[in-house]
């Protein structure tokens, strides 16, 4: 996202959960922009999302233990492609 476009009003609005450099300095124009919502890496969170995350982690652990193909691999070091 181009910060200048947001601050100038060319871009209607933005929701930002991560930034290139964190934490944003208190002088960041993003924090003062009325059309910008900035959250501290928690925009994803809800009770439902937390339950789903726990379920998916457990299911992935079972797949790993069974040497099945993982749905969300981080890397494949030491694992053959299933």
Convert the pLDDT of each residue in 31-62 to its tens digit: 988 999 999 888 889 999 999 999 999 999 99
Least confident of 14-18, 52-56, 72-76: 72-76
Give the integer Cα–Cα distance in Å for 3 and 38. Answer: 13
The pLDDT score that the predictor gives to residue 79 is 60
HEC states along the chain?
Answer: CCHHHHHHCCCCCEEECCCCCCCCCCCCHHHHCCCEEECCCCCCCCHHHHHHHHHHHHHHHHHHHCCCCCCCCCCCCCCCCC
The pLDDT score that the predictor gives to residue 80 is 59
For the chain, give every domain's residue range: 3-38, 45-82
How high does pLDDT run on average in the chain?
87
Phi, psi of 67 (to 5 degrees): 60, 35
Is this model's pTM higher than 0.75 or not? no
């Amino acid at each position: 996202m181009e910060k200048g476009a947001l601050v100038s009003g060319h871009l209607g609005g933005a929701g930002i959960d991560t930034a290139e450099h964190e934490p944003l300095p208190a002088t960041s124009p993003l924090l003062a922009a009325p059309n910008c919502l900035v959250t501290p890496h928690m925009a994803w969170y809800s009770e439902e999302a937390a339950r789903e995350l726990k379920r998916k982690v457990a299911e992935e652990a079972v797949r790993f233990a069974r040497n099945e193909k993982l749905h969300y691999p981080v890397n494949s070091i030491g694992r053959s492609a299933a």
